[in-house]
Amino acid sequence: MGRKLLFDKAHIEGIRYYDVYRANGGYGSAEKALKSMKPEEVLEEVKKSGLRGRGGAGFPTGMKWSFIAKPEGVPRYLVCNADESEPGTFKDRYLMEFIPHLLIEGLLISSYTLGCNSCYIYIRGEYAWIPDILEQAIAEAKKNGWLGKNIQGTGFDLEIYVQRGAGAYICGEETALIESLEGKRGNPRIKPPFPAVKGLWDCPTVVNNVETLAAVVPILRIGGDEYAKYGIGKSTGTKLISACGNINKPGVYEIEMNISVEEFIYSDEYCGGIANGKRLKACIPGGSSVPILPANLLLKTAKGEQRMMTYEGLADGGFATGTMLGSGGFIVLDEDQCIVRNTLTFARFYHHESCGQCSPCREGTGWMKRVLQNIENGKGKMSDIDLLWDIQRKIEGNTICPLGDAAAWPVAAAIRHFRDEFEWHVLHPEEATKRNFGLAHYADPLEIAAPAAV
């Protein structure tokens, strides 16, 4: 059994409620931080832990916190990003639904560290029942003196508010989230200035993912140094992975970042292997926007080593032969799945979710979707594949926010690794509507560490 830090008590009956949570050591970290540590000391522990943002980008949390500006007389804000919308990702939902107090305790410690007295949880609008759970937990915490004025007699004040979004993936981008929280359209801001200097209502703001903020609790409990002993290298601690697709046991798993991808997919502790006795064809290990990998490159790196479930392990080989840990949305495709169709659904997703502010993303995402539709419907041309490649290349890196990159990468990776499947669709349009390309050579052992074509 892998070691757990967030879900170690998740199985306890009634852990959703304050009394049970508290009886099992809950708010112990907050007590320690507020009563016996200075904010700088807490920050030091978070820095030592090596905790990296769990929302997708993997930026060191301690460093992000140290950037916050502290002008006199200006309030600072902590915003919790619970706008979990990346296809394949549903880990924060699980955490908020089942252990809401873990998040609230994390918010309390983080707000204390950053010197914030108001904190907003921005949760995606579709999770319509979760605000009730969170608000109930907030009320419980307040009743027991963990929120409100003069918390536990320490003189520290904190209010936590829950704000629902209303259906926009883009609001997961921190500046779009801030705009939305200000009651505006979710158009990402042009950076700089960064939120740490000018964020919510032009005040210094830190935006962190739910899992990141929850992870602060075990860091304080066991200490930053101890936390850093979990995992491998710069991938410290544990990570929540939401596994879905054609596997036997879809769900949210907490893994210590020291296991291999193979173990994660096939061991009974986690995904339990591919469903219905099928074979693995491909996998998108970090949410829809990270590059898709064929089975052979997923399990082994181009150098022939075991691929590990860490930030570095999944990124090994760069985009040519690697991918990213991203937000931990682990999507598995079996041999019966069609890569073109899967890529099309992602292109459709990004087209639907583009805010429309900057031109490459606004126009390019729709174009890619339409070209992919043609290929999928048997109306594609060989030149369309190169066209797609060119479109994604012109979107990537040229947009205001990372949604452009997120839209470009899945298309690029699908063509990079599955070009023959696209070509088969073009050459056999009739057949392609009746059956799928199948596993082909995508699980064959890699012979040499050759960079893929294109």
Q: How far is the CB of 228 from other proteins (least distance, A)?
A: 28
Question: Do the beta carbons of residue 241 and residue 264 sit within 8 Å?
Answer: yes
Amino acid at 247: I
Specify the residue, 25 or 193, whose C-beta has the smaller distance to other proteins.
Answer: 193
State which of positions 142-161 bind other proteins (CB under 8 A). 161
Q: How far is the CB of 168 from other proteins (least distance, A)?
A: 5
Of positions 95, 108, 109, 168, contacts other proteins by CB under 8 A: 168
State which of positions 390-419 bind other proteins (CB under 8 A). 393-395, 397-400
Q: How far is the CB of 353 from other proteins (least distance, A)?
A: 7
Q: What are the CA-CA distances from residue 335 to residues 273, 431, 437 (Å)? A: 13, 17, 9
**Is residue 318 part of the contact set for other proteins (CB under 8 A)?**
no
What CA–CA distance (Å, rounded) separates 259 from 80? 29
Sheet strand arrangement including 329-334: 251-256, 238-245, 329-334, 280-284, 293-294
Piece in contact with other proteins (CB under 8 A), picked from 295-303, 333-341, 415-423, 441-449: 333-341
Q: How far is the CB of 85 from other proteins (least distance, A)?
A: 6
Question: Do the beta carbons of residue 21 and residue 99 sit within 8 Å?
Answer: yes
**Is residue 329 part of the contact set for other proteins (CB under 8 A)?**
yes
Q: How far is the CB of 142 from other proteins (least distance, A)?
A: 14
Where do runs of H (alpha helix) occur along 255-358?
261-266, 295-299, 311-315, 318-321, 339-353
The helix/strand/coil state of 45 is: helix
Q: How far is the CB of 16 from other proteins (least distance, A)?
A: 17
What CA–CA distance (Å, rounded) separates 147 from 160? 8
State which of positions 334-363 bind other proteins (CB under 8 A). 337, 341-342, 345-346, 348-349, 351-360, 362-363
Specify the residue, 219 or 361, whose C-beta has the smaller distance to other proteins.
Answer: 361
Q: How far is the CB of 29 from other proteins (least distance, A)?
A: 26
Residue 302, judged by CB atoms within 10 A of its CB (0-12, 13-18, 19+), counts as buried
**Is residue 436 part of the contact set for other proteins (CB under 8 A)?**
no
Q: How far is the CB of 271 from other proteins (least distance, A)?
A: 10
Specify the residue, 43 or 371, whose C-beta has the smaller distance to other proteins.
Answer: 371
Of positions 29, 113, 180, 301, contacts other proteins by CB under 8 A: 180
State which of positions 93-112 bind other proteins (CB under 8 A). 93
Residue 35, judged by CB atoms within 10 A of its CB (0-12, 13-18, 19+), counts as exposed
For 261, phi then psi, to 5°, come to -60, -40
Closest CA to 292 of 392, 416, 387: 416
Of positions 14, 25, 145, 167, contacts other proteins by CB under 8 A: 167
Question: Do the beta carbons of residue 353 and residue 361 sit within 8 Å?
Answer: no
State which of positions 235-274 bind other proteins (CB under 8 A). 242-246, 250-252
Tokens for 238? 């544990």
